[in-house]
Amino acid sequence: MINNINVALIGNPNTGKTSVFNALTGLNQKVGNYPGITVEKKQGSCRLDRGTKARILDLPGTYSLNASSMDESVVVELLLNKNDLDFPDVAVVVTDVENLKRNLLLFTQIKDLEIPTVLVINMSDQMPRKGIKIDLEKLEEQLQTRVILMSTRQKTGIDQLKQVLVAYRKLNTTPLFDPTTIDESYFESLQKAFPNQSLYKLWLVITQDVNFTKLERQKVADSTEFKTQSKSYLKKLQQRETIKRYQTINKTLKEAYTVNREEATDLRSKLDNLLIHKYWGYVIFFMILLSIFQAIFDWSSIPMDFIDSSFAQLSEWTKQQLPPGVFTDLIAEGVISGLGGIVIFIPQIAFLFMFISILEETGYMSRVVFLMDRGLRKFGLSGKSVVPLISGTACAIPAVMATRNIENWKERLITILVVPFTTCSARLPVYMILISLVIPDDRFLGINYQGLTLMGLYFLGFLMAILSASILNGFMKTRYKSYFVVEMPNYKLPLLKNVALTVWEKTHSFVTEAGKIILAISVLLWFMASFGPGKNFANAEEIISQQYASQSMSKTEFENKVASFRLENSYIGILGKTVAPLIRPLGYDWKIGIALISSFAAREVFVGTLATIYSVEQDETETIKKRMGRELRSDGTLLFNTATGVSLMLFYAFAMQCMSTLAIVKKETNSWKWPAIQLFSMSIIAYIVALITYQILK
């Protein structure tokens, strides 16, 4: 019989907790949200031995159990509620070998909750270089638990951790700290009032200003009198607790932890002086971004062309192998074209997240956040707004969620409203296909024009976010001054396994989440494009025969004329021509209008929509890129020329075309007012900019 246990990974940010999680779970991971809360929940599973299987929960990073944000409150709530399905049988506190003193504050708090707790000291391979020595036996004796030195880079300590987790019931659960030393009379009164309750748990329930949705508060229902103390007094007791704990920690480390500063190198300070320099820091960041976008275009072109042509051939092969009919058309023109619209962008998505993961793994991303903080304050953004704005380049949804660490509501609201301007990965498929169509594949001084255009679009989105924040700040004046604190992690070579897992997780998420929407809409669009009302659609062959009776046409030309006429008179054609007058001044035809409407579900649907429309209308052996490149207007000129292409790119740069983002903004602001304002204002800005651009360039 298999014994299943819950294991919670807990630790400060940047301690390598994710590396430990990846080392334990590998690909057996899934990401979701805590019930009723927009906080990311990462969990996985691993076999500890033949008879024990562990469910690993990677909790949000926190510095202590004195919660000050929603992320931290999730950790506190879980550890105080034994009835929660995720409540850990054993807690693994992951610490950084260089910052052990600060990390141990959290460890002592969790240990005092009387949960079996293991201390993992990560990055132990750096000890010789940093001049650090640890007396493991002494440390285990002082902390009354098992201590494991681990290096996920060198793959040491993982098996030892698994062995300890299997035998977690043998771990000492005796508290390390006596709360009565904080304020003897207060805590003795609390203990008398609740003699059967853990004193430290009571203290956490009383002091935490969070919504414990699952916590059984009836057990401490009479604790109101202990909460009536002034907030300043309770805060003072919390500060006293922190001081007392650090006194104990200092005594412990004095006997078990030594650092020889002469053996440590000063490479980190030299790199910091360069990478966060007030001038050179921006130049280096610019060059890194330019290299990334250059690589995305150069490296992804070959696999993209292969995927595009393969799906075109697969669609044609399907038509040849299956008997003619509606079902065959659905598979060849709806399902396969929809899948092609998903798979074709996997190379770019994979490369983008590979580079982002490498920047995070090396420790450079934290320097970028610090560097950008200097210039953002003058525009009314909090220093903490940098994190959502940077993470918005991946996806606006987690970026909006990341604003929870901004204490001031107005600064948080401004950040939420402007985050969608930053270019997310969903815009990447639209940009890539349009840039490849209208921007020459030439180079200047070795720099590809297409890569330069892509980087320009990213900068444009970021600048628009800053400009919008400055305007909003003028309407939302606040005297509250916030401070930005970010930890600078050590520089290190990226772990290939962590990078690979990040790329897999993000591309898998794109395929499964965005892919569902793209495929569903592709099939729906195929139905709307394959059927229509009235006699024009039903009698398309007769009408075309009469119109071109005086002209000699090949069978293929005749079939294409019939397909185009049916498409114009189908349900989707009617919808497209309804919106055509509104978008014609932007240089768009009715087919692009259909793509714009459908992409309100998700921006990346734009290309999949056109792929479905063109596969219904034309020969499936032609790739979507070639088909779009040959599309003509009624006057015989190319539809996707420079004016139209640039207009479309700018429309997507500014438009709020993501229902999921609107939903998460509603959830975070608890009102439909702000997402409605967001949708209306961004759509107006996008329309005006696209209109002016097309009228100038045409």
* pLDDT tens-digit map of 480-510: 555 555 666 777 788 888 888 878 877 777 6
Measured CA distances, 260 to 96, 252, 265, 327 (Å) = 17, 18, 11, 74
Confidence of residue 75 (pLDDT cuts 50, 70, 90): confident
| Whether residues 255 and 291 fall in one domain | no
Confidence of residue 613 (pLDDT cuts 50, 70, 90): low
From 204, 233, 263, the end of a domain falls on 263
Answer yes or no: is 485 within a domain. no
| Whether residues 199 and 343 fall in one domain | no
Query: DSSP assignment, residue 144?
Result: T
| Whether residues 416 and 565 fall in one domain | no
Query: Which tens digits make up the pLDDT trace of 570-586?
Result: 887 888 888 889 988 99
Closest to 183 (Cα-Cα) out of 235, 114, 222: 235
Query: Which tens digits make up the pLDDT trace of 240-268?
Result: 888 889 998 998 888 888 887 655 555 67
Query: Which tens digits make up the pLDDT trace of 293-340?
Result: 777 767 877 887 788 788 878 888 888 888 887 788 778 777 777 677
The larger pLDDT score, comparing residue 398 to residue 112, is at 112
* Cα 455 to Cα 620: distance, rounded to the nearest angstrom: 33
Answer yes or no: is 498 within a domain. no
Closest to 363 (Cα-Cα) out of 570, 629, 126: 126
The larger pLDDT score, comparing residue 440 to residue 404, is at 440
Q: What percent of the chain lies above the pLDDT cut of 70?
A: 83
| Whether residues 206 and 296 fall in one domain | no
Domain that holds residue 431: 280-475
Q: How many CA atoms lie within 13 A of 390 on its CB side?
A: 22
Number of domains in the chain: 3
pLDDT of the residue at 608: 67
| Whether residues 234 and 293 fall in one domain | no
Q: What residues have CB less than 8 Å from 477, skipping those under 6 apart?
A: none
* Cα 594 to Cα 473: distance, rounded to the nearest angstrom: 36
3-state secondary structure string across 353-392: HHHHHHHHHHCHHHHHHHHHHHHHHHHCCCHHHHHHHHHC
From 263, 290, 310, the end of a domain falls on 263
Query: Which tens digits make up the pLDDT trace of 338-384?
Result: 677 667 767 877 887 788 788 878 888 778 777 777 677 777 676 66
Confidence of residue 217 (pLDDT cuts 50, 70, 90): very low
Answer yes or no: is 203 within a domain. yes
Tokens in use for 634? 């009624």
* Cα 71 to Cα 69: distance, rounded to the nearest angstrom: 5
Tell me which amino acid residue 28 is: N
Cα–Cα–Cα angle for 58, 499, 462, rounded to 5 degrees = 90
Answer yes or no: is 274 within a domain. no
| Whether residues 81 and 111 fall in one domain | yes
State CA 576 to chain mean position distance. Answer: 33
Where residue 171 sits, what CATH number does that domain have?
3.40.50.300
Q: How many CA atoms lie within 13 A of 177 on its CB side?
A: 28
| Burial of residue 121 (number of CB atoms within 10 Å: 0-12, 13-18, 19+) | buried
* Cα 658 to Cα 509: distance, rounded to the nearest angstrom: 16
From 263, 294, 309, the end of a domain falls on 263
Q: What residues have CB less than 8 Å from 24, skipping those under 6 apart?
A: 44, 46, 54, 56, 158, 161, 162
